[in-house]
Amino acid sequence: MNRYIKLLCIAVCCLAGLPALADTPPYQVADGNKVDPHTLTGWRTWRAMACERCHGAAQEGMVGPSLVESLKVLTKDQFKNVVLHGRIDKGMPNFDGSKMVTENIDFLYAYLKGRSDGAIEPGRLQEIGKEGGQ
């Protein structure tokens, strides 16, 4: 019986910790434009793939939708599905053939989620603790 109580306590503790983990942002940011190395890689992926041509330099939309608004409702898995498989009928190409995107999709999500949350400012970013940036 003690074994079951211990397992139940462990399960309750684990479940209680889940909301805290879910609320942890996938990025770290300071001063609006200094981010962790992974988020900086996401920003560099954004720039390298020229996503601003459709979604705007500030991710607020042009011919493509505002990613600032979209990432308020899309889950990470939904975001990855759209980016990797596209929405051809809506003009969104698939990027599953891009090594840069497939290898950095989590970092791209982190950057765009930071923009959507209002934590990361539009424009040039630099790594936290380093001067200059790219």
Is the pTM above the cut of 0.85?
no
What 3 state SS string does 24-88 have?
CCCCCEECCCEECHHHHHHHHHHHHCCCHHHHCCCCCCCCCCCHHHHCCCCCHHHHHHHHHHCEH
Domain annotation covers residue 19: no
Task: Tell me how many domains the chain contains.
Answer: 1
Residue 14 maps to a domain: no
Least confident of 21-25, 63-67, 94-98, 128-132: 21-25
Domain range spanning residue 104?
32-120
Question: Does any domain span residue 23?
Answer: no
- pLDDT tens digit sequence for 33-88: 999 999 999 999 999 999 999 999 999 999 999 999 999 999 999 999 999 999 99
Query: Confidence band (pLDDT; 50, 70, 90) for 120?
Result: very high
Does a structural domain hold residue 25? Answer: no
pLDDT at position 9? 47
Query: Within a domain: residue 134?
Result: no
